[in-house]
Amino acid sequence: MRVAGPDPGRTGPCRPIPVLETVSPLPPDRAAALAQAYDGAVAASRRRVWIGLAVLVVLTGLAAQAAEVRPGVLAANIGKFTDYIAQILPALTLGNLGGDLAEWYWGWPKWLALLGETLLMAYLGTLLGAIGGFLLCFAAAGNVARSRTGCFLVRRILEFCRTVPEIVFALIFVIAFGLGPMVGVLALAIHTTGALGKLFAEVVENIDLKPVESLTAAGAGRIETLRFAVLPQVLSNFVSYGLLRFEINVRGAGVMGFVGAGGIGQELLVAIRNFYYADVSAILVLIILTVMAIDLGTERLRHHLLGGLR
């Protein structure tokens, strides 16, 4: 086949390529069979799509029934939503911007302190959870685990830690340990152990096993194998997942205060429940800015980490 050469007369991406060779047509019976097979395949895939859509519609109906979806109420009350947004937005005037801002953020020393507390909770919860996940992941990874029963057990434990939401842990811990940010940290740490333990184990399962074999052949013990054959392959991924989890935990720590487990959530709950409109927006803006800043920061760090490997 000839390749069409550059054509100086025409530019742009949609340049028609001339037919260079005549194609001998298929015998009619063969062409008909092929066309029929094609039509059959298309019809089958169409049918699959329609059946899938029908199942989806039925499920949606059932779910809407269960979740008491009332579009009428939403339509009737959507004005309340926009009103609410309008109400929580502060009255900022250009003439008196400084004064208005000061009034909006009247509680900033307290709020900033609580925000700092929230960040520290997320940090400590992530760190403790990452340590827990790190210690458990090698036992949960199928390729380096010592015993099958141990692997099964550790996986179930991680699943439990991951499935029970951190707020539920916090609810129970608040009764056991008393109110305060320590409870939030413990709840975050347990949930993080479950989530990171699973991700870490998956990373370990995907490593190249040759270094492990060569170290075992050279007589290295379990700890030495993990340290010198496994760890160098997985560490950057571990850190990257840890940072991702930190991002998630900052969001989680923000609402820990809803159940009395410390952080800025308590202030926000009080403001929303008592209709302190300006406070709601002030605290929300603080949380949103913090979360966005941390998202950007961790994203940079993760790209840097994973990019350094390539």
Residue from 101, 107, 123, 236 binding another protein (CB under 8 A): 123
C-beta separation of 122 from 246 below 8 A? yes
Residue from 105, 111, 115, 121 binding another protein (CB under 8 A): 121
The residue count of the chain comes to 310
For residue 172, state whether it binds another protein (rule: CB under 8 A). Answer: yes
> Rg of the chain over CA atoms, in angstroms?
29
Least CB distance to another protein at residue 196 (A): 15
For residue 234, state whether it binds another protein (rule: CB under 8 A). Answer: no
- Where are the strands (E) in 76-144, listed by range? none
Residue from 108, 228, 258, 276 binding another protein (CB under 8 A): 258
For residue 182, state whether it binds another protein (rule: CB under 8 A). Answer: yes
Least CB distance to another protein at residue 209 (A): 22
C-beta separation of 194 from 162 below 8 A? yes
C-beta separation of 11 from 19 below 8 A? no
Contacts for 291 with CB less than 8 Å, ≥ 6 apart: 247, 250, 251, 254
For residue 251, state whether it binds another protein (rule: CB under 8 A). Answer: yes
Contacts for 165 with CB less than 8 Å, ≥ 6 apart: 191
C-beta separation of 184 from 263 below 8 A? yes
**Residues contacting another protein: total by CB under 8 A:** 64
- Convert residues 264-283 into a mask of x (bound to another protein by CB under 8 A) and - (unbound): ----xx--xx----------
**E strand or H helix at 147, and its extent?**
none
For residue 175, state whether it binds another protein (rule: CB under 8 A). Answer: yes
Which CB sits closer to another protein, 142 or 180? 180
Instruction: With contacts defined by CB under 8 A, name the span among 19-27, 164-172, 206-214, 226-234 that binds another protein.
Output: 164-172
- Convert residues 97-116 into a mask of x (bound to another protein by CB under 8 A) and - (unbound): -------------------x
